[in-house]
Structure 1
Amino acid sequence: MEPTLTMQQMVRRSGVEASALRYYEGLGLIAAERSSSGQRRFPRSTLRRVAFIVFAQRVGLTLKEIGRELARLSTGRVPKGEDWSKLSVSWVSRIDERIAELERLKAGLADCISCGCLSLDQCALSNPDDRAGRLGPGPRYWLGKQTMGGLRRE
């Protein structure tokens, strides 16, 4: 039988607050057994699942997406390194997208702040005649490469 950890031990070892662990349990992302007094007892392998959840959130996955990923794991044994590697393979493109988005924000940050107008519909440099508005709703330039009437932003 796998050793178990109390809630306090899980909090101390995982760095995740008890309220979050209870929430993850409620969502079915982790599971705990109950002692005769009703206290939660987590299998020690739950530490790996919690680390996976924390890392996946930092990559940008929602808890719903994390749940789908964790559901792909075998329930009959403790997941190993190769199991976690298989799950995280699809994250590379997501990480690349986030890096590209942050690079776009970094590149435009100094220009927009130094200008002072803070208005894309009035900005003669970045958005003459509000061309971005014709591309659709939202922050069109920050969503990626867009072309409109000769204007190209990256």
Structure 2
Amino acid sequence: MERLLDIAEVSDRSGVSPSGLRYYEKRKLIVAVARNGLRRQYEPAVLQELALINLAKSAGYSLDEIGSVLRRPGATVIPRDALVEKAGSLEEQAKRLVNLAKMLRHVADCPYEDHFECSRFRKLLIVATKVTNG
């Protein structure tokens, strides 16, 4: 049997605060398997679960969505179709952010005092409106 990890060690190794670990436990995303006095103890595999939670949060998944994957009986199976859809969504978001950054740079560097006098600025507004409104 592998050595159990104390909540402080899990926190140090995962970067998740002890209060965050307790919150994830309350949300049933992770499980403490024992206690050493008042201190929670975890299986070493919890570090992989926390890495998955962090990755999924970074990708924009909610804790409820993450929990639906982690709480499945047996092995953790991540729905591939949903990942493809999420990846496409993130790529579209990245394009919007790149266009927004270009627009902000132009506004910052535009020689016109009144930006609406600048034909490039007006074109960027049209593009930005199309991108944000779909």
Identify the residue that residue 50 of structure 1 maps to in structure 2: 50
Task: Output the TM-score relative to the length of structure 2.
Answer: 0.73
More helix as a share of residues: 2
Tell me the distance in 2 between the aligned counterparts of 1:36 and 1:113: 55
Query: Kindly tell me: are residues 30 and 94 of structure 1, through their superposed partners in 2, closer, same or farther at Cα, counting changes over 3 Å?
Result: same
Identity of aligned residues (%): 27
Q: Give the CA deviation at 1:111.
A: 2.8
Identify the residue that residue 148 of structure 1 maps to in structure 2: none
The size of the alignment, in residue pairs, is 120
Identify the residue that residue 97 of structure 1 maps to in structure 2: 89
Tell me the distance in 2 between the aligned counterparts of 1:95 and 1:54: 16
Work out which structure has the larger RCO, using CA pairs closer than 8 Å and 6 or more positions apart in sequence: 2
Tell me the distance in 1 between the aligned counterparts of 2:66 and 2:12: 22
Task: Output the TM-score relative to the length of structure 1.
Answer: 0.65
Contact 1:59–1:91 (8 Å) recurs in 2: no
Gaps of 5+ in 1: 133-139, 145-154
**What is the CA deviation profile of residues 14-62 of structure 1, one whole-angstrom value per residue up to 9, with x for unaligned ones?**
1222121111011110011342522201111111111110111111101
SS at match of 1:114: helix
Tell me the distance in 2 between the aligned counterparts of 1:19 and 1:36: 17
Tell me the distance in 2 between the aligned counterparts of 1:37 and 1:111: 57
Q: Give the CA deviation at 1:103.
A: 0.9
Q: Give the CA deviation at 1:112.
A: 5.0
